[in-house]
Structure 1
Amino acid sequence: MTTKKIAAIEQVKIDSRYLRGGITEGLADPITGAISEDDNKLLKFHGSYQQDDRDQREDRRKQKLEPAFSFMIRARLPGGVVTPAQWLAFDQIACDWAQFGLRITTRQTFQWHGVRKPFLKPTLQAINDAMSTTLATCGDVNRQVVSATNPLLSEQHGLVQEWADKISETFLPKTRAYAEIWLDGKKVEDAIDGEDFEPLYGKTYLPRKFKIGIAVPPLNDVDVFAQDIGLIAIIENNQLLGFNVAIGGGMGATHGDDTTYPRLGSVIGFVRPEQLLAVCEAVITTQRDHGNRDERRHARLKYTVDKLGADWFLEEVQNRSGQTLEPSRPYHFDHNGDRFGWTQGTNGRWHLSLRVDSGRIMDTEVGPWLTGMREIAKIHQGQFRLTCNQNLIIADVPEADKAAIDKLVADHKLDVYQTQSGIRSSTIACVSLPTCGLAMAESERYAPILLPKLETLLDKYQLRDERIVLRISGCPNGCARPYLGEIALVGRALGRYDLRLGANFSGERLNVIYRQNIAEPEILSILDELFGRFAAERLESEHFGDFLVRTGVVAEPSSRLIPLVLQPA
């Protein structure tokens, strides 16, 4: 009798006693700054990754020292909502235990980098003391739920935020291992099924990570089609009628393996609010039971949908949920970026959206962001909202407080949105080097080098104010959602990238590879020519990605697969 092959992580999960493993013992080991490989896999479910400073690797190797290990930690903040008290607590954590300040991620939450092992438990405890958690921000579970920003602009946006909270809470793991390890909770001695269990996930959890996002047309500011479950809120006559449901979105791929690919979510129907949780659970459990547990490269929901078919998947979801999905409702997206400056909500309150380069909030020569936001948090009486484009909203500001907020913003040079170029305002860059173990090329550290050169080219053709979606990723795994960039750079090696072109401005079309494995001089030369053509040949109000497809510079891809290489016509 042959035993079915499973990926190594599957056995680690089975043996983990519901995510306990040897994490407690690894934290107590004073000999090393690391924990074991298996425990690092389990640690992800608790909201942390073990990393090392790759800038120091070679020097430390020569000195016969172990790598400079530290940990990245994420908070779970559904919809990116942060209170002033939380902001101040998170700021203190960044100052006491982390390096590189606070970082807004592309999933609308905060990350801390460079936390050393002795400070890992105090950091997680401090995050929980601030009325947040890190549970399930990583790992093979439903992760951070993202949602349309500025929900206070209307009652309906507020309802959408409530649904983000409900989804997040409903699909959290139930294991008591998190409280036991990090919060000094009561230990469950044997952690057997009768004492500690996962009613939704089971011992093996999901085959791979799972992401849910909610968009409110006409803004696709969460890139809803990049989600495993994308929910498009349908609002008519100021009433939230329900959601169109898209399944099978995902951005990850592997260089040289055309069996891996980015995919846009497939819209399978419309659900009313009272049906939503049951339908989401049915999608999750279908993926739990039918997802690929043999090969992690093929374990995301998108591959399950493509293997079994969207029609089969819809029928299975309806059978499991007991709900019949209605035909999808009409909707329209204008763009997938953020709006900057002041906006007044229907309740008379104001919201100030600020541009944050690569989401990095720290004090630098460019501006004292960490200090400035700390001072704002001390007087702000509303909320902060983090966006999926790594930006920040000072939300729910009364008219009387606007002047004080404006002064602090100006005093600390946080008002860069007023003078930024169109392409800079629409750029996302992943963390990449030096901390990401998957990075092949620079991303966050390359963006401030590349952007001035692109702005020089755009100035040449009077295109400085043209909003062009640029995504920079240090590897093909897709954290910066590069496959939805009108222009995207995907790292191949230090200083070398695939240049991808042709996604649309609203996040509803994938881009394609235009040139593979090229360096900056060729990237700039290509874009110089294309910007010139765009300025001379564009139609009125035409966006750059649409121009490239219309004129045949790139062919329009299918909704699922990206052609390997398309050369210019």
Structure 2
Amino acid sequence: MTTSDSPENKIKKSKVERIKEASLGLRGNIAAELADPTTDCVPDETTKLLKFHGTYQQDDRDLRKSRRKEGLGKAYSFMVRNRIPGGKITAAQFLGELDIADELGNGTIRITTRQSIQLHGVVKDNLWGVIHRINEIKLSTQSACGDVTRNVCCCPAPLRQNGLRDQLQQLADEIAVHVRPKTGAYHEIWIKDRETGEREQVVGPPPEAEPDPIYGKAYLPRKFKIGLALCDDNCIDVYDNDLGLLGIAEGDRLVGFNVLVGGGMGTTPSKANCFPALAKRLAFIKPEHLLPIITAVIMVQRDFGNRADRSQARLKYTIHDMGLAAFKEKVESYLSEAESICGVPDGTLPRPLPDPHSDDVTAHNDHLGWHEQGDGKWFLGLPIENGRVKDDGNLRLKSAFRVLFAGHVSNARLTTDQNILLCDLEQGQRSTIEHILAEHGVDTIDNISNARRFSFACPALPTCGLAVTESERALPGIIDELETELSQLGLAKEQFTIRMTGCPNGCARPYNAELGLVGRSVDGKSGEGRYTVFLGGSLLGTRMNEVFKDQVPRSEIVPTLRPVLVHFHQNREADESFGDFCHRIGMEALGKLSPSSP
């Protein structure tokens, strides 16, 4: 096997690597090609660079066949993703996102699994306007996609009793600024001269790309995700990140972080050397040492990550090839340079790095429902099915948010479960807010099942180019069926995570869920999607699940699960969760259960 630091890996480079190196700091031909009126799309090379600016070129796959019959090409559009560290958003910003979606997108926004917002259906002529307007409301799309550090996540709950979560939020902001690429390309391309009102670059491109001491000329081999959590509240799935920072508290004092490395959900089932993974425990560091250790880890991945094969380019593969002990030594060898970049004296961090603290994840909280903040105010966590904000029949969620953010709610937080927390509410507002929600057909957690509460899906079809099967559009119906089954078995109050994706790339984190559904193929005759069913992950997010059944038709998912649910109901141990039960019994034994089990 070619290892990350082998001579072969240093010589061979994928097409994307060559595009990045020649892009002049991610500029390429983006500005000229967006201004070209003769086409509704951009070339493949430019799509690779646009990701760094927060947008993916897509097409409506529902229309492909009909357009082919009409002799037409694909119906191209763009998805635009925000970078919102920790999911903090003001009322004005949320309303601005809704306005942009209505005027320049498809009329909906989508809360993502990394605490940000996506807009869909943006045609090429509107792309510049969308990204520019997002910046006008003091948000950004820079580095929301691409081979750099993505949106930095942390616990969104404004619980201020001990100040720990406020510290996480502050650190998330500091980290996001620190790891943002240094190139001026984003500013040049997406900002216009306010005096003339003309779309133009504020300054011309430099003769050479700006130096970037963290990312270098070609940035990272693949995307890189950072998240911060607390041991007693792993609401962000900290072990799923390339770099997880698990806060260790003593009373009301944050004493440091366990540094977790190498998490990642994507995989390619046809490749034996591709796999999802939870992060490994690397070291314990003090809060003031976060930026140097983050910098060193990123730089090791920059220099030793696989640039020849993008399917092997995430940090989890670098660590797998190198070994955790060797990886730790590499990180330590980069600390002096990292300290210099961060402006701290050489030797600030201890060498060797201390072993991880014994504390680990003990609890999870989705923060839904009404909660006291600890400062005299309240927040309300609202479930949003699959993160999609729209008006649809009696459910007028978008209209409800327009009313709430126009005069009742000053700010909110987005969660990694695709939900929203309405923050800084007065106790006297509770009845008014609940009335507004009821008037618009919006359910709170009191009105939905636990199965629906703890479920979410990726967008998949019709816009995602990687999707094999349905996901967002399929999961609500599956939950309908599952609710009936759980109710009949007396398990309606059971809590377990259900996550669905339309392909193996794992955007909705299906591989550590208690029940994961991953799109596998489509039946050539019926067109019905087939899924791999995974069981046995944990609610805490600290254990991978396993394959229970492969190639299960969409219509057979709940019937396939029924004997497992019956067995769980009849044979679980006291207070045993569904994921723990499946893990204890094992997939082989569960697979032998009769489909006709009572």
**TM-score when normalising by structure 1:** 0.95
TM alignment of 1:472-511, pairs within 5 A? 472-494=500-522, 495-511=529-545
Contact 1:18 1:191 in 2 (8 A): no
Selected match of 1:385 from 401, 413, 421: 413
Q: 1:535 corresponds to which letter in structure 2? A: H
TM alignment of 1:48-447, pairs within 5 A? 48-154=55-161, 155-184=163-192, 185-193=201-209, 196-322=210-336, 323-324=349-350, 325-336=353-364, 338-447=366-475
Taking the aligned partners of 1:568 and 1:220, their CA distance within structure 2 comes to 34
- Could you tell me which runs of 5 or more consecutive residues in structure 1 were left unpaired when the two chains were aligned: 556-565
Aligned twin of 2:525? none
- Measured against aligned partners, the alpha-carbon deviations of 1:147-186 in whole angstroms (never above 9, x if no partner) come to 1121343411101100000010100011111111111353
Task: Report the CA distance between 1:63 and its aligned residue.
Answer: 1.3
Taking the aligned partners of 1:190 and 1:176, their CA distance within structure 2 comes to 9
Alpha carbons of 1:410 and 1:290: their partners in 2 closer, same or farther (altered >3 Å)?
Answer: same
Taking the aligned partners of 1:69 and 1:144, their CA distance within structure 2 comes to 26
Secondary structure of the residue aligned to 1:549 is helix
Taking the aligned partners of 2:588 and 2:89, their CA distance within structure 1 comes to 41
Taking the aligned partners of 2:287 and 2:87, their CA distance within structure 1 comes to 21
Q: 1:386 corresponds to which letter in structure 2? A: L
- Measured against aligned partners, the alpha-carbon deviations of 1:50-109 in whole angstroms (never above 9, x if no partner) come to 000000011111112121100000111000000111111111111111115110001110
Aligned twin of 1:40? 47
Q: State yes or no: 1:9 paired with 2:12.
A: no
Question: Across the two proteins, how many residue pairs are aligned to each other?
Answer: 557
Task: Report the CA distance between 1:504 and its aligned residue.
Answer: 1.2
- Measured against aligned partners, the alpha-carbon deviations of 1:247-269 in whole angstroms (never above 9, x if no partner) come to 00000001221210001100111
Secondary structure of the residue aligned to 1:493 is strand
Contact 1:232 1:244 in 2 (8 A): yes
TM alignment of 1:452-463, pairs within 5 A? 452-463=480-491
Aligned twin of 1:465? 493
Taking the aligned partners of 1:464 and 1:270, their CA distance within structure 2 comes to 41
Secondary structure of the residue aligned to 2:334 is helix
Contact 2:24 2:208 in 1 (8 A): yes
Which deviates further from its counterpart, 310-319 or 155-164? 310-319
- Measured against aligned partners, the alpha-carbon deviations of 1:410-463 in whole angstroms (never above 9, x if no partner) come to 222223421211111110100000000000000000011111111111011011
Taking the aligned partners of 2:12 and 2:203, their CA distance within structure 1 comes to 33
Task: Report the CA distance between 1:396 and its aligned residue.
Answer: 1.6
Task: Report the CA distance between 1:24 and its aligned residue.
Answer: 1.1
Taking the aligned partners of 2:368 and 2:28, their CA distance within structure 1 comes to 45
- Could you tell me which runs of 5 or more consecutive residues in structure 2 were left unpaired when the two chains were aligned: 1-6, 193-200, 337-348, 523-528, 594-598
Q: Using the aligned pairs only, state the percent identity.
A: 40
Task: Report the CA distance between 1:366 and its aligned residue.
Answer: 4.4
Taking the aligned partners of 1:449 and 1:33, their CA distance within structure 2 comes to 35
Secondary structure of the residue aligned to 1:374 is helix
Q: State yes or no: 1:516 paired with 2:581.
A: no
Aligned twin of 1:30? 37
Task: Report the CA distance between 1:34 and its aligned residue.
Answer: 0.3
Alpha carbons of 1:240 and 1:554: their partners in 2 closer, same or farther (altered >3 Å)?
Answer: farther
Taking the aligned partners of 1:177 and 1:122, their CA distance within structure 2 comes to 16
Alpha carbons of 1:521 and 1:447: their partners in 2 closer, same or farther (altered >3 Å)?
Answer: closer
- Measured against aligned partners, the alpha-carbon deviations of 1:339-373 in whole angstroms (never above 9, x if no partner) come to 32100022121010011000001001241111101
Taking the aligned partners of 1:520 and 1:416, their CA distance within structure 2 comes to 28
Q: State yes or no: 1:448 paired with 2:462.
A: no
Taking the aligned partners of 1:568 and 1:211, their CA distance within structure 2 comes to 39
Alpha carbons of 1:554 and 1:339: their partners in 2 closer, same or farther (altered >3 Å)?
Answer: farther
Taking the aligned partners of 1:415 and 1:524, their CA distance within structure 2 comes to 24
Alpha carbons of 1:346 and 1:416: their partners in 2 closer, same or farther (altered >3 Å)?
Answer: closer
